A and B are shown apart, each in its own frame.
Chain A
Amino acid sequence: QVQLVQSGAEVKKPGSSVKVSCKASGGTFSSYAISWVRQAPGQGLEWMGGIIPIFGTANYAQKFQGRVTITADESTSTAYMELSSLRSEDTAVYYCARAGWTAVAGTHYYYYMDVWGKGTTVTVSS
């Protein structure tokens, strides 16, 4: 059974960048997608973007366009999420999740996340 192992907690200064990794243990990404979801303290879930490693291109929520980069290395079964120009509002737990996917239109996909990492806490503070 595949597990997703995320990198450790990070403390960052405003304006800097953070890169979180997510490694599949006990399996590979295979034909699944990897999605990234964040949750600010006491708040709900927010989808940031996703990537289908066999295709290599990522989709991003408009809110994060230009600030987030999601990549995947199939050879090491590791995905990465890099968020730049950090501000205090980016303080959150960041989850990666394996996702089943369906092509909806063009490069738009429906993702449903069936295996989740434990989350990485990112704190942005001066």
Chain B
Amino acid sequence: QSALTQPASVSGSPGQSITISCTGTSSDVGGYNYVSWYQQHPGKAPKLMIYEVSNRPSGVSNRFSGSKSGNTASLTISGLQAEDEADYYCSSYTSSSTLKVFGTGTKVTVL
């Protein structure tokens, strides 16, 4: 089971919106609405930002939103802020024996 494919880096200026893609297959992203997104600052544990494609946990800013089309899920960050600079990982349930697969990770830079 290969990792889900994410762009290595995405950047934007404060206040702008950016979108991170996460491409899988019909065995994972495309087959189920079981996609999550995690934010990780350097040296810290990951933080859940989105679950089940588009649900935000309590306490997560509504500037973060998730969606899915076919085999590709997306995380959009609107009103980009300096504190959003971090690594972001998507994750999906997979029907393969791996059961859960993460994306390759995307480094978000706020210019």
A interface residues, Cβ below 8 angstroms from B: 35, 37, 44-47, 50, 59-63, 65, 95, 97, 100, 102, 104-105, 108-114, 116-119
Give the interface centre of A44, A59, A97, A105 by most chain B CB atoms within 10 Å. A44
Distance of A2 Cα from B89 Cα, bound (Å): 24
Query: Is the pair A62, B98 in contact by a Cβ cutoff of 8 Å?
Result: yes
Query: Is the pair B89, A44 in contact by a Cβ cutoff of 8 Å?
Result: yes
Contacts of A118 in B (CB 8 A): 45
Contacts of B98 in A (CB 8 A): 47, 61-63
Identity of the chain B residue whose Cβ is nearest the Cβ of A44 in the assembled complex: B105
Query: Is the pair B46, A104 in contact by a Cβ cutoff of 8 Å?
Result: no
What is the size category of the interface that chain B forms with chain A? 20 to 34
Query: Is the pair B48, A47 in contact by a Cβ cutoff of 8 Å?
Result: no
Shortest distance from the beta carbon of A113 to any chain B beta carbon, whole Å = 6
Contacts of A119 in B (CB 8 A): 45
Does chain A have a CB within 8 A of B102? yes
Identity of the chain A residue whose Cβ is nearest the Cβ of B100 in the assembled complex: A47
Q: Which of B3, B34, B47, B101 contacts A102 (CB 8 A)?
A: B34
Query: Is the pair A95, B105 in contact by a Cβ cutoff of 8 Å?
Result: no
Shortest distance from the beta carbon of A111 to any chain B beta carbon, whole Å = 6
Distance of A109 Cα from B3 Cα, bound (Å): 18
Does chain A have a CB within 8 A of B65? no
Query: Is the pair A114, B57 in contact by a Cβ cutoff of 8 Å?
Result: yes
- Segment 33-49 of B: residues with Cβ below 8 Å from A: 34, 36, 38, 40, 45-48
Q: Which of A45, A60, A65, A110 contacts B38 (CB 8 A)?
A: A45
Distance of A29 Cα from B58 Cα, bound (Å): 19
